[in-house]
Chains A and B, each alone.
Chain A
Amino acid sequence: MNDTFEMILASAFQLFLVLASAPLISGIIKKTKARFQRRRGASVVQPYFDLAKLLRKEVVVSPVASWLFRITPYLVFASTLVIALLVPTVVTPVPLHWIGDIITVIYLFALGRFFVALVGLDTGSAFGGLGSSREMSIASIIEPAMMLAIFTAAVTAGSTNLSIIVARLSSTPVAMLNPAHLLAFSGLFIVTIAETGRVPVDNPATHLELTMIHEAMILEYSGRYLALIEWASQMKLMVFLALLSNMFFPVGIATTWSPWALLVGSAAFFCKIIVLAVIVAVVESTNAKLRLFRVPEFLMVAFILSFLALILFFIIGA
């Protein structure tokens, strides 16, 4: 009984952490970008106000929209929350690590993407369909790239369970410098940029019809639906940054629930996440968006990097 209670408490902590800090990470990226453009930029807590405002606003639904349109925001939000439960952030192993491994995470992302793409088609607007088709063609390249990158970490640790990968790696620090590992990291970094719709692939800040991908699909959403989808994509970014930092450099991650370990773990985690977020912002500020037909080439580089990582693991060995 006591065990169950502790597990629920720990899971709630993990959920709360991701839910509450995801908008902050997005705010930090926006602020860094603004600084690069020599603007002062909105405060880093602005995304919280945006979400609060959207949650209060009225929802407008097109009369031709079906039930898919109404359930998708909840579905996307919920699937992202489940992923947030599975990815180690401050502590490893996460309390519910037995409910699914890394393949579950990949497919939960795919589930959310599938429904968002359907909704893009659902309302019958021209932009929605355009966004869906682009999203799916990009996804067909980044999903294998992501799998290969993650499998490289998985073969290093000898398990596909994220918590076990992180725990094994944090006990053998030399493995972090393995070239296969470094390559897989760079592959997954490109995947992160593509998955979260960041600049060389997609631009999260505009609604320009020629370039938008993610924004095109959710163009019809408003009010609390939009809030849920935005929040889910902020959490997705956070989860990806957590994957990048903990699966490849699990330095300082807590392995027990003692207060001191938690404190060190949280400090290390947020330092790593913020550094990665700033790197993402720098990449966004220093690169022009790629022409859509060039995007597959860029993503192919991610695929090849991850692929080489996996081959190098066998050539050079652990």
Chain B
Amino acid sequence: MGIIHLSTIGLLIDIFAAAILVTAVLIVSSRSLVFYIRLFALQSFFLGAVALLVVLGYGETHILIAAFLTIAVKAIAIPMVLTRVIERIQVRKEIEFSINITASLLLCAGMVILSDSVAQSILSSQHGDAPAVSRVLSVSIAMMLIGLFIMMTRKKALTQIIGLLTMENGVFLSGLSITYGMPLIVEVGIFFDIMIAVLILGVFVFRINKTFETISIDSLRSLRH
């Protein structure tokens, strides 16, 4: 603390939070699986940066490990695994939607407004001066909603994973913004959970593709035949 001024930290947190929100929205606007993965990697990287800034600005050293884990696991390892899966299954890399991109983007804008009003009502019950990082609460709620939206409307098994991970990033960010992160043991648990989940889901996608020759979740209904 003290090396960098708190208002500078606040400004940087704002910029990275905005970047995180933009990557989440750009994921919704994109058509290619490769872009999904790259944007997710970028998003996790920005999230790690926000966590590092919380360490720098508020002296919460236990988040340091979580920040490095975010960058190592979510920004590097998971994208690598998913890229591997895409290369191996050689599916059509174009995403199918149940709601088209233009309408999805408008819905996302609505979700951002909704999450802002929710966040405001949560923050208004707080006592005293809110620190800069609590302003990103609405971004984190918006990310949970957008992640859920991706899972609902994008029809590839891999996009389900990306949606889930986006939601998880939102949860981590909300933890950061309200309580400067969860206890370390919880964070580490979540990271292992996510890592294993992605590995298993990757294998699942591989098997789904082998059985149905597509990873579109529509054909999962024909499982009983």
Contact with B along A158-185 (1 / 0, CB 8 A): 0000000000000000100111101100
- CA A182 – CA B21 in complex, angstroms? 13
Cβ-closest chain B residue relative to A174:
B11
Q: Are A300 and B18 in contact (CB under 8 A)?
A: no
A-binding segment of B37-45, B71-79, B104-112, B162-170: B104-112
- CA A317 – CA B123 in complex, angstroms? 15
Contact of A297 among B18, B29, B113 (CB under 8 A): B29
Contact with A along B23-52 (1 / 0, CB 8 A): 001100100000000000000000000000
Q: Which of A177, A179, A305, A311 has the most chain B CB atoms closer than 10 A to its own CB?
A: A179
Contact with B along A13-27 (1 / 0, CB 8 A): 000000000000000
Residues of B in contact, count (CB < 8 Å): 25
Q: Is A1 interfacial (CB 8 A cutoff)?
A: no
Q: Is A54 interfacial (CB 8 A cutoff)?
A: no
Number of A-B contacts (CB under 8 A): 61
Cβ-closest chain B residue relative to A177:
B11
Q: Is B179 interfacial (CB 8 A cutoff)?
A: no
Q: Are A311 and B15 in contact (CB under 8 A)?
A: no
| Given A177-B11, A179-B15, A307-B109, A315:B116 Cβ within 8 A | yes
| Given A297-B102, A300-B102, A316:B17 Cβ within 8 A | yes
A301 to chain B, nearest CB (A): 5
Q: Is B171 interfacial (CB 8 A cutoff)?
A: no
Q: Are B15 and A304 in contact (CB under 8 A)?
A: no
Q: Is A296 interfacial (CB 8 A cutoff)?
A: yes
Cβ-closest chain A residue relative to B116:
A315
- CA A190 – CA B119 in complex, angstroms? 30
Cβ-closest chain B residue relative to A299:
B102
Q: Are B102 and A296 in contact (CB under 8 A)?
A: yes
Cβ-closest chain B residue relative to A311:
B112
Contact with B along A288-318 (1 / 0, CB 8 A): 0000000011001101110110011011110
Q: Collect the chain A residues with CB atoms within 8 Å of residue B15's CB.
A: 177, 179, 182
| Given A296-B102, A308-B109, A311-B112, A301:B29 Cβ within 8 A | yes
- CA A315 – CA B106 in complex, angstroms? 18
Q: Is B22 interfacial (CB 8 A cutoff)?
A: yes
Q: Collect the chain A residues with CB atoms within 8 Å of residue B18's CB.
A: 179-180, 182-183, 308, 312, 316
- CA A303 – CA B15 in complex, angstroms? 19
Q: Which of B99-133 contact A (CB under 8 A)?
A: 101-102, 105-106, 108-109, 112-113, 116, 119
Having A308-B112, A312-B21, one finds 15 other A-B pairs with CB under 8 Å, namely A178-B11, A179-B17, A182-B15, A183-B18, A300-B101, A301-B26, A301-B29, A303-B105, A307-B109, A308-B22, A311-B116, A314-B116, A316-B17, A316-B135, A316-B136
Contact sample, A vs B, 18 pairs, CB 8 Å cutoff: A178-B11, A179-B15, A296-B102, A297-B29, A297-B101, A300-B101, A300-B102, A300-B106, A301-B29, A304-B106, A304-B108, A305-B25, A307-B109, A308-B22, A311-B109, A316-B14, A316-B18, A317-B135
